[in-house]
Structures are given as C-alpha cells and as structure tokens.
Amino acid sequence: MSKDICHCIVLRKASRRVSSYYDEALAPLGVNIAQFSLLRNIDRMAPVSLTDLGARVELDRSTVGRNAKVLERMGLVDIRPGKDQREATLTVSDAGRVILKAGGPLWDSVQEDIEARLGPDGIDRLRELLAVL
C-alpha cells in the first residue's frame, strides 16, 4: 500500500532535496536559499520589523530574528531600532543588494529546472495541492 508511506516524510524529503538544488546554485554567493529568500522578503518589505517579517514568511519570530542576525553578521542586512523602541527595523544593505542582484539569475535557473521537470502544469498542480495542506 502506498498509504503506508508517511505523507509528511515524503514532503520533508522533497523539501530537503529541492533546497539543496537552490543551495548549490547560490553557493558561489555564500548564501543558501533560506537566507536568499529572507533577504528578498526584507527587501520587499523594508523597513520591516521581525514580527511582520515572521508573519510574512510563516516562521517563528525568534527564528527570523536568529536568521536575520546571520545576515547581519554577513553584512547583508542592517538591524536598527525603529521609532518604536521595541522594534528591530530590518533593511537590506548595499552588499545585500549586490547579492540580490547576483542571485537573481542563479535562482531563475533553478526555478526553470524545476518547472522543466514538473512539466507545463506541474507547478500549478503542485502548488494547488500544497495550498490545501
């Protein structure tokens, strides 16, 4: 029975596998897909608080905080207090923008590989299935 296979584990494996494709492609830039994606989100929302960013990327606030700190240490992101003294305001630095620009084509390439492998409607069908989970 195929029903014996854990749906969760299938997903986790695929997630790890696919992540590694993106990670390899982005490796020349020294960032992985989680970092690159977070950087993009910060760029789109900047200046943004950890809470808002966490909501957007569907990650725990503390996770986003720690991940952002790594980006800060790399010099790709600036973290400063906002008007609201509680808030940490995130913005992409110049170095971060360089990475964003350089990573675009690398990311595109993997996206296209995935699309090629899934076929014309594959992406849409996959996304539809994942959306209900």
Partner DNA sequence: TCATTTTTCGGGTATATACCCACGAACGCG
Partner DNA sequence: CGCGTTCGTGGGTATATACCCGAAAAATGA
Number of residues that bind DNA (CB under 7 A): 27
101 binds DNA (CB under 7 A): no
70 binds DNA (CB under 7 A): yes
CA 52 remoteness from chain centre: 15
Q: What is the DSSP annotation of 67-86?
A: HHHHHHHTTSEEEEE-SSTT
| Residue 35 contacts residue 67 (beta carbons within 8 Å) | yes
78 binds DNA (CB under 7 A): no
Quote the DSSP letter at residue 132. T
49's enclosing H/E stretch is: strand 48-49
Token digits for 124?
């849409």
1 binds a copy of itself (CB under 8 A): no
15 binds a copy of itself (CB under 8 A): yes
126 binds a copy of itself (CB under 8 A): yes
Select from 88, 77, 34 the least CA-distant residue to 58. 34
Choose the contact partner of 93 out of a copy of itself, DNA, none; CB within 5 to 8 A by kind.
none
The minimum distance between CB 128 and a copy of itself, in angstroms, equals: 9
* Positions that interact with a copy of itself (CB under 8 A): 2-3, 5-19, 21-22, 33-34, 37, 57-59, 107, 110-111, 114-115, 117-118, 122-127, 129-130, 132-133
